[in-house]
Amino acid sequence: MNLQIENKQVFFTDTGESFDKSKHSIILLHGSGQSHVVWSLTTQYLSDQDYNVFALDFPGHGNSDGDSLKTIEEMAEWLDKVIKKIGIQNLTLVGHSQGCLVALEYANKFPKKIKNIVFVAGSYKIPVNKSLIDLASSGDIESLNLMMKWGYGHSKQFIGGNPLQKILNSSREVIEVLSVDLKACNNYKNGINAVKKIKCRTFFIFGESDKMIKLENGKEFSELISGSEIHVIKDCGHMIILEKAFEMREKIVEFLKK
């Protein structure tokens, strides 16, 4: 489905159900260089649990118009415009990787609008290796291979080809989408302040073998939020949304229904 924000098309998944204001709504926020397609194993399952489900494409990503937003703060402001446009009142944010930073900053800016946050493979800061940023900034496709090499658990192989290469189809898209996202993550410094302000229910899902967000760093993040809950998925890396989507989605529903 589509809506217009500032005369630009915003795309989000349509599970075949019309928006019902009486239902709780879940917004799924993708990671760097990705799009709504990474949530393909999750959206219908959550919808079947009687939630409104929206897997968004950020500007410049997937089927959404515009240029990629350059900062996490801009992404949070844009997200609020989308939420207002749809008319969501009862909200859970589920973020993966970069999406966690956006959810964190959204909660910082608009604390009264959010009921729950689910952080999947996230932290309050995501420093990015300069060599990876340089590769992406030059449009080198090898940057996609490096991300997936580090993104999957040590015993995992991505089946059917590199999923990022199915989303970013050219060197130009690597430059205009992935490199912008990586810089936004690397430059985001407000996380340590934002996390201290969170008062809503929070749930953390980590991959035991995550090489991007080390488990000990993730646990440090979760400990900064009083009353937060955590689940660690065994034999899983950073790409939980693809590697262990079934376990992840079941745990999300379990958390929301408590």
Asked if residue 131 belongs to a domain, the reply is no
pTM (predicted TM-score): 0.95
Asked if residue 151 belongs to a domain, the reply is no
Asked if residue 83 belongs to a domain, the reply is yes
Q: What is the pLDDT of residues 150-204, one digit of tens each?
A: 788 754 556 666 778 788 889 999 999 999 999 999 999 999 999 999 999 999 9
Q: What is the pLDDT of residues 4-54, one digit of tens each?
A: 898 899 999 877 678 898 999 999 999 999 999 999 999 999 999 999 999
Q: What is the pLDDT of residues 92-101, one digit of tens each?
A: 999 999 999 9
Phi-psi region at 164: left, alpha or beta (left = phi > 0; alpha = psi -120 to 50): alpha
Q: What are phi and psi of 73, to 5 degrees?
A: -60, -45
pLDDT of residue 216: 94
Report how far residue 68's alpha carbon sits from residue 48's, in angstroms, rounded to the nearest whole number.
Answer: 32
* Domain of residue 63, residue span: 2-126+188-256
Asked if residue 122 belongs to a domain, the reply is yes
> What is the total count of domains within the chain?
1
Q: What is the pLDDT of residues 48-60, one digit of tens each?
A: 999 999 999 999 9
Asked if residue 78 belongs to a domain, the reply is yes
Residue 252's domain is classified under what CATH number?
3.40.50.1820
Average pLDDT over residues 136-142: 94
- In the predicted structure, residue 85 carries a pLDDT above the cut 80: yes
pLDDT of residue 155: 47
